Amino acid sequence: MSFSTPRRRVVTSIAAGGLATTGMVGVQAQTPNWPQPSKPIRIFVGFVPGGTTDPYARVYGEVLSRKLGVPVVVENRPGAGGMVSLQTLAREAPDGHTIGITTSSSLWGARALYKKMPYDADRDFAPLGWFPVGPLLMAVPASMPVNSVQEWVEYAKKTPVTMASYNPASVPHLAAEEFNKRYGTKVNVVHYKGEGPQWVDVATGVVQAGIGSYVALTAHIARGSVKVLASVGPERSPKLPQVKSFVAQGFDGEIFRLAGGLLMVAPAATPEPILQRISQIFAEGADDPKAAALRENFAIEDKPTTRDVAVRKWREEAPVWIKLTQSLGITLD
């Protein structure tokens, strides 16, 4: 698999406050609690800006820089549903200087889509923490003549439609296959390099639906260019409590009940003390004002977890995503 030169985004100085696309996270007091990094730490992001991966990387990059006293550089490496970034990360030195953030579907469900992967997720990566994204939302163009999921399904039975997806084996990808398999719809899936471009095409009617995070939808909701029809998972979005979940609307497929999220990972051979220290910094950073603001603005109620919890979730939930993907009969090679 080939890939282009990464798009770099570097977080501004802590002292200056705020975030930007140039500069570095400010260097502050050194800490003796972790073998001192000898160079800047890089965080690979598998998608373009516009969803939750990039903001999480930048906010927690600041936290990491402040605690460890080195600059943190955020690099956007989109492509192949997050696999470009992960393939590169798997080849990096396991010394704590390079980590990455990606979707759970890139690590778990994708392995059921391809006969050959450029990495082995279980062998090549060590989880640092699980980063919740809040209830995902299904939205359609405001111009579309539907006002509920059931109406959209009835429309999609008669007319071919497209579902925007931010990567293969993602919630929107699996949801589209679920609709086709159980309800006889004619839904095609279009994969994007992130939620930003995905929602632009939904809002303008280029595609007829998408599923993704509240934060990526906010501007389109404010402009009235989309209609939000449902939320994924057991809870409604705190920002849109009037929007019922898929399950509450009678769609009880397993994909509609799962809660997706992001994983921060490091190369698997990274020493355990380094993994634990970075994980501890992320967990403690959840109370940072900018991290709290991120959750509030993005309608995310839960905080990132420790490494131990992320390891447990990986062990328990990865088989569920793989089995679900396999059950829908999806393959991409």
For range 36-46, the mean pLDDT: 91
pLDDT band at 314 (very low <50, low <70, confident <90, very high): very high
For the ranges 30-34, 58-62, 97-101, which has the lowest average pLDDT? 30-34
pLDDT of residue 83: 85
Half-sphere exposure of residue 200: CA atoms within 13 angstroms, side-chain side: 8
> Could you read off the pLDDT of 115-137 as tens digits, one per residue?
788 889 999 999 999 999 889 99
In total, the chain counts a number of residues equal to 333
What is the SS3 assignment for 103? strand
For the ranges 31-45, 268-282, 291-305, which has the lowest average pLDDT? 31-45
pLDDT of residue 12: 33
pTM for the full predicted model = 0.78
For range 200-204, the mean pLDDT: 97
Residue 26, pLDDT > 50, answer: no
Q: Identify the CA nearest to 213 among candidates 225, 221, 201, 205.
A: 221
**What DSSP element (H or E) covers 65?**
helix 53-68
Q: Identify the CA nearest to 85 among candidates 208, 3, 16, 186.
A: 3
Segments making up each domain of the chain, as ranges: 7-133+260-327, 137-257
For range 292-300, the mean pLDDT: 90
Residue 311, pLDDT > 90, answer: yes
- When the candidates are 3.30.1330.30, 2.120.10.30, 3.30.390.10, 3.40.190.10, the CATH number that belongs to 137-257 is 3.40.190.10
Better-scored residue on pLDDT, 293 or 113: 293
> Could you read off the pLDDT of 222-266 as tens digits, one per residue?
999 999 999 998 888 889 999 999 999 999 888 898 877 899 999
Tell me the average pLDDT of the chain. Answer: 85
Half-sphere exposure of residue 285: CA atoms within 13 angstroms, side-chain side: 26
Burial class (CB in 10 A: 0-12, 13-18, 19+), 121: buried
Phi-psi domain of 299 (left: phi exceeds 0; alpha: psi -120 through 50; beta: other): left
Strands (E), the chain: 7-10, 41-45, 72-76, 98-103, 125-132, 137-141, 161-165, 187-191, 209-212, 226-231, 261-267
For range 52-67, the mean pLDDT: 94
Query: Has domain 7-133+260-327 been given CATH number 3.40.190.10?
Result: no
> Could you read off the pLDDT of 255-294 as tens digits, one per residue?
898 877 899 999 999 999 999 999 999 999 999 999 999 9
Same fold, 7-133+260-327 and 137-257: yes
pLDDT of residue 48: 85
Tokens at 257, concatenated:
């009940």
